[in-house]
Each structure stands twice: as structure tokens, then as C-alpha cells.
Amino acid sequence: MTKKERFVLWLNKLGRGCNRITIVVLYITIMIMLGTLIYGANQQKATSNVTVTYSRPSYTVTFDPAGGGASSSKIVKLGDNYGDLPTPTRAGYTFAGWQTSDGTAVTSTTQNTTIGDHTLSAIWTANTIKITLNKNGGTGGTDAFYYKYGTNTFYTDSSCSTTLSKLSLPTMAGYTFVHYYGDGTCGGNNGERYAGYADVSYGFASDLCTDIYQDATLYASWSAIATTISANYTSLSIPLRKMIGYGGTQFGWDGQGVLTVTAGGGGGMWTYSVVSATTDDDDRAIPSPDSCISLSTTDATTGSVNVACQVVILEPKLLGRWNYKYIIRATSVYNGTIADIELTFDCMPSY
């Protein structure tokens, strides 16, 4: 006999002693209690056996280096930290991190809260570049200047607080300054001019701030001044003078003049030397230049130089007239220009 059959039999026995209404009420009460017990048991069973699984979505994060090389990407789950991030490099700049499209900074410990694929962009800070000026033998003028890479504004100081519109140029005797050029080791081309020339009002080339991306040196270019030299000298008329020497009487001549040398095109320092000596009378001995001509020089930056000359000739032969010719060579210290000057002494015996 099943549980249901036994329950019905029990109700029939119970009904013999109760009226029909009581039996119905009792039956309903018992069924409600049984339903409550069965529902509770089923609910407990369902709760203990159900497992809920939630999978977080993953998204592609693209890294835009913003001029610092090729882009890259990685997969990051929603709610996870971004983790290891790439470190790009870019000439003239220092990498300062990553940011979202709205400018929010992102680090390796930042949690990804963006729903969907998205891009992070590199942040760059322009480097301060120092340019040292090598004057290549010149003196004076600006020694160095600074700029922020990529920005065509120049400064006198490393903090970039005082602007500089043009350079103070160096000078060198015998030369004209042309420009400052680079050697290509820190950007740009070897020999390319970057500063100090007339086309940029002695300021800076427009591509300097983007060509040279790190501290560098620029070198002065000079052009030798076209130099000519001319001599202005009046030959000395040397009178006969009696000179008392050892072993008897000898005759001689002496005289002194000034040789004015005019150096055109700016002059410069010149050195002088006697390179030859001749006479129109082969019977007469030529006095040694060292014994009869003294040369002294001064700086010819004003265009002229004086050479003091003196001749003392001891000559026993008194008859006739003759001359001595000396070639004095002037050489430019700065560019090697040579000019030969003829210096003539006419000797006329007189009593």
C-alpha cells in the first residue's frame, strides 16, 4: 500500500467520528502543510546545487607612440590593471607616460574601466638643447644659446627665461665672419649653416630647432679678406762721409728712411724679411742685409705699417755712382699673402 492509500484510509477512519465539514477543513489544512514542507525542501535543494559563473570581457588596448616609433597593442580585461606598458623613444623629447583620449594619465597599476577597445597616447616633454659656439680662432661674441626642441624660440640661459633674437658675432683679424655651421653628428647635415648669417638677420635658421635634437656644437666659418699690399718709399740719397776705421782712413755712407707699407682690404699682421740683394756695379761688394737694414713691424689693423731701414756702407772706392737693391718680402700672418717690396739705395760720392 502506498503512502497516499494509507493517508486516505486514515481519513476514512477519522470521518466516522466527524461530520463532513470538519473533514474538509482538516484535509485542506493538512494539504497546505504538506505543500509548504515540499516547497521548502525543493527550494533548499535548488539553492545548494546552482553555481553562477560571470566572465569579464577583454578589450584591445592600442598604444599610439605619437611620433615615437611604431604602435603596439595588448589585451586587457575589464577591471584588470593595465600591467606592463611599452616605453617608446623619440629624438629631442623625454617620454612622460601614457594617457587616455580625455587626458587621464595611465600607469601599470591603473585599472581598466573603459568598456570596449581603446587607444592610449604617449606623452612627450621637449628637451632643452644647448648649442655651444666654436669660434674657430675668432674672439668675442656669443658663446652659447638654448632652445626647447621643436620650438623656434632661442634663449641665453638653460632655464629658457631670456630670449635671444640674434647672435653677437666673433671677429678675427684678416677674416670676415660668414656663419655658424653644424657637423651632422647631432642632427642635420655636415656643413649646413644654422646661425649668424645675413639671410636670417644674424639670428637662427628656421629648421635649427628640429634638425639638431641634442646638445651640440656649431663651428664658425671665416672668409679671408682679399688683401693687396703696396709700397711707398723714396730712395735715399746717401752723402759721402769720412769714417775713421782701424788701419787708416776709410770712406762710407749712411742714411735712414722709413718704408711705409699700405695693406689694403683690412691689413692684418705682417712679417718682413730680406730675400735678395743686388748691385749695378759688380766690382763692389754688397753689404750684408743683416748689417745694414733693420726691420720692425707693428699691427697693421689700421692699414699701414712702418719699417725702419738703415744702411752703413764702408767702401774705399770713391769714384762713380752705384746703387744697392734689396727685396723685402712681406707675409701676412693670417692668410699667407706674400708681397715683395723693392728697396733701393743710391750712392753718389760727394766731397
E strand or H helix that includes residue 270:
strand 270-279
- Give the number of other CB atoms < 10 A from CB of residue 80: 12
User: Which whole number is the average pLDDT over 131-137?
Assistant: 96
Question: 243-257 burial, b for 16+ CB within 10 Å, e for fewer?
Answer: eeeeeeeebbbebeb
| Cα 80-90-216 angle, rounded to 5 deg | 150
**CB of 259 within 8 A of CB of 233?**
yes
Which is nearest to 270 in space by CA: 243, 230, 297, 238?
297
Which is it for strands 128-134 and 144-148: parallel, antiparallel or unpaired?
A: antiparallel
User: pLDDT at position 46, please?
Assistant: 46
Does 140 lie in the same domain as 107? no
Q: Which residue has the higher pLDDT, 222 or 311?
A: 222
CA-based torsion, 148, 150, 151, 155: positive or negative: positive
Answer with the one of 126, 159, 185 that is the final residue of a domain.
126
Which CATH number goes with the domain that contains 70? 2.60.40.4270
Q: Which residue has the higher pLDDT, 222 or 29?
A: 222
User: Which whole number is the average pLDDT over 251-271?
Assistant: 56
Which is nearest to 339 in space by CA: 289, 265, 279, 283?
265
Amino acid at 37: L
Which is it for strands 322-332 and 105-106: parallel, antiparallel or unpaired?
A: unpaired
Does 68 lie in the same domain as 42? no
DSSP secondary structure code for residue 299 in this structure: -
Residue that is written with C-alpha cell 632652445 in the block: 147
User: pLDDT at position 280, please?
Assistant: 74
User: pLDDT at position 43, please?
Assistant: 55
User: Which whole number is the average pLDDT over 256-283?
Assistant: 65
Which pLDDT band holds residue 253 (cuts at 50, 70, 90)? low
Q: Which residue has the higher pLDDT, 251 or 296?
A: 296
Q: Which residue has the higher pLDDT, 121 or 20?
A: 121
Lowest mean pLDDT among 144-158, 197-211, 283-297: 283-297
Does 159 lie in the same domain as 265? no
Give percent of the chain above pLDDT 70.
57
Answer with the one of 126, 158, 185 that is the final residue of a domain.
126
Does 220 lie in the same domain as 133? yes
C-alpha cell at 189: 647635415
- Give the number of other CB atoms < 10 A from CB of residue 226: 11
User: pLDDT at position 351, please?
Assistant: 44
Q: Which residue has the higher pLDDT, 212 or 256?
A: 212
Domain span including residue 21? 3-49
Does 116 lie in the same domain as 220? no
User: Which whole number is the average pLDDT over 37-42?
Assistant: 56
Does 294 lie in the same domain as 185? no
User: pLDDT at position 297, please?
Assistant: 56
Does 204 lie in the same domain as 99? no
Q: Which residues contact residue 240 at a Cβ distance below 8 angstroms, ignoring those fewer than 6 apart?
A: 251, 253, 318, 348, 349, 350, 351
Report the mean per-residue pLDDT for the chain. Answer: 77
Q: How far apart are CA 165 and CA 132, in angstroms?
A: 16
Does 213 lie in the same domain as 317? no
Q: How far apart are CA 310 and CA 321, in angstroms?
A: 19
The number of distinct structural domains making up the chain is: 4
Q: How far apart are CA 200 and CA 165, in angstroms?
A: 10
Global confidence as pTM: 0.58
* 73-121 pLDDT tens trace: 999 999 999 999 999 999 999 999 999 999 999 999 999 999 999 999 9
Q: Which residue has the higher pLDDT, 274 or 67?
A: 67
Q: Is the pLDDT of residue 344 over 80?
A: no
What is the three-state SS of 167-187? Answer: CCCCEECCEEEEEEECCCECE
Which is nearest to 210 in space by CA: 127, 123, 301, 277?
127
Q: Is the pLDDT of residue 4 over 80?
A: no
Q: Which residue has the higher pLDDT, 246 or 332?
A: 332
Does 281 lie in the same domain as 261? yes
Does 145 lie in the same domain as 82? no
Which CATH number goes with the domain that contains 320? 2.60.40
Does 316 lie in the same domain as 234? yes
Does 249 lie in the same domain as 343? yes
C-alpha cell at 88: 617608446
DSSP secondary structure code for residue 199 in this structure: G
Question: Within the chain, where are the H helices?
Answer: 3-15, 20-49, 208-211, 289-292
Q: How far apart are CA 118 and CA 98, in angstroms?
A: 13
Helix (H, G, I), strand (E, B) or coil at 52: coil
